[in-house]
Structure 1
Amino acid sequence: MTTETMRPTLRQMTIFDAAVAQGSVGAAARRLGLSQPAVSHALAKLEAVIGTPLLTRGQGGSVASTAGTILHRRVARMQQQIREGIGAAAGGAYEATRLANLATALTSTQVRTHVAIAEHGAFRDAAAALGISPPALHRTAHELERLV
């Protein structure tokens, strides 16, 4: 798969957001419960997909580049919208920390599944639109239900 056909994942964007917010890759790894190499790898893949450096790394930590600052604002806005959507769907039953944890745990596949089901109604049609089997769509939808 070439970088032209790749898209950033929610996981990569969540990791990027944590790296900017925490000011270092190591602190982001600790906050997210990941290894530092996993965080570095995800950030490198995100930078490859975006096509430009997003962080300047140094002895004192990591700072967002100009492009990284722009992306960070958009990622923060996206995460806020995800939290608001989950909160609205839950009828206000979740506290802010739980909403933030849920937003962090969502995967791109779960979001695509949810959108396809909402747009197409029937699971069979949603699966066809995504180019996956109905059982695969059911599995992902069930994972999302368990998460939320």
Structure 2
Amino acid sequence: MIHGIDTSFLVAVELIEHPEHANTSAALQRFVAAGDHFALTPQVLDEFIHVVTDGKRLAQPFEMVTARQTAERWWLASDVNRVFPNEAAVDQFFSWVAQFKLGRKRLLDTMLAATYFHNGVTSILSINPSDFTVLGVIDCPNLSPPVQPQGPST
């Protein structure tokens, strides 16, 4: 399976201080162990760099060089497919914005979903799944650790 990567997921995986770091890192390892691949768009990378270098947002922001190198490592990874918006994705973006009456805060995620969707990717790794599942064609896998069955109580 191929999973599109949302900026929220990438930030959580890479920032140790992020509250979802442990869950997203463990989920990433589960997907890798299952042989899954990933898809990534340029717009996720620039948003990632913008977020992780923001000293107003983070106690320990990345230096620009570190942020760029981290983004580039993801972009060049052998299990990552690089995908780009095409004409169909832009048309889909406009359609979803109208259909779901989306506002300005939903534009980037909607374009991201349309880009992945029109590149054959219908699973997105995100810590904000409702940003994508509302569209009805995108699945966001649960990133929480699997629940281990309890043995009989004694």
Common topology (TM > 0.5)? no
Greater relative CO (CA pairs within 8 A, separation 6+): 2
Greater helix proportion: 1
